[in-house]
Amino acid sequence: MRYYGVTDKGLVRKSNQDNYIISTNKVGDVFAIVCDGIGGGRAGDVASKMAIDYFSEVFSKNTGFNDMEEIKTWVRFHISKCNEKIYIKSSTTNIYKGMGTTFTGMLISNVGKLVVNIGDSRVYGVNEFGFKQLTQDHTLVQDMLKHGEISEQEAINHPKRNILTNAMGVWSNVRVDIENYKEKLNDILICSDGLFGYVKEDLIEKVMLTDELTTTLKARKLLNLALKAGGYDNITIIIIELKDGDNR
């Protein structure tokens, strides 16, 4: 397994409210996470960093999993605990009021691959069948699309496309999408909307399907595309290359 992560504040924002981690536990399992903070001032940065710091600590101490159900239980428990920590800080400190964060990633262990999502950061996968999105955005526009109120074309530039319906730390309870992804994957892309919100998906796909590029070069190329598109938002990218033995 090879992996690389990069984050950049972009060309417009004054600060970077994105945070990410590629963490390993005691037995070499990997948990890669992207968090895109929301909230005024530095509040978003605080929320995303709290989430990353929390999972960095608890996952590094983890001693492995016996099966996929154990992974799901562990992830749900710690997401609930982390959500509670951020929510309490938000509720009791005026400057952090309303802060929260997306929480999107993949946990790769010797018993399987788990896709995790809260909010509108994304996980994409590459395999022999091509390139596809593995998560579903928790946004108002995604709900409208699901109910047939707008078309996919209308959703791309919809004025309400950035309104979240779910985020970590904003409410006392959080909804999390968790999926045991069983198909073989060659590469994984985890990113904030600073990438896919400004770079067309076919361009992202083209980079991800270029076998000649290393994980590092793919990530740097995608970052440059986002900056060339205006760099209007913070940009965070993690790319993981899986070998046959990494797929369970």
| pLDDT reading at 142 higher than 90 | no
Q: What is the pLDDT of residue 170?
A: 94
pLDDT in tens, 91-122: 999 999 999 999 999 999 999 999 999 999 99
Q: What is the pLDDT of residue 156?
A: 76
> Sorting pLDDT into bands at 50, 70 and 90, what band is 140?
confident
CA trace torsion 179, 221, 30, 139 (10° rounding): -30
Q: What is the pLDDT of residue 212?
A: 95
Q: What is the pLDDT of residue 245?
A: 65
Domains in the chain, CATH or no CATH each: 2-246 (3.60.40.10)
> What DSSP designation does 244 have?
G
What percentage of the chain carries pLDDT values higher than 70? Answer: 98
pLDDT in tens, 170-181: 999 999 999 999
Mean pLDDT of 189-209: 97
Spell out a b/e string for 82-115, using b for 16 or more CB atoms within 10 Å of the CB, else e: bbebbbebbeeeeebeebbbbbbbbbbbebbbbb
What percentage of the chain carries pLDDT values higher than 90? Answer: 86
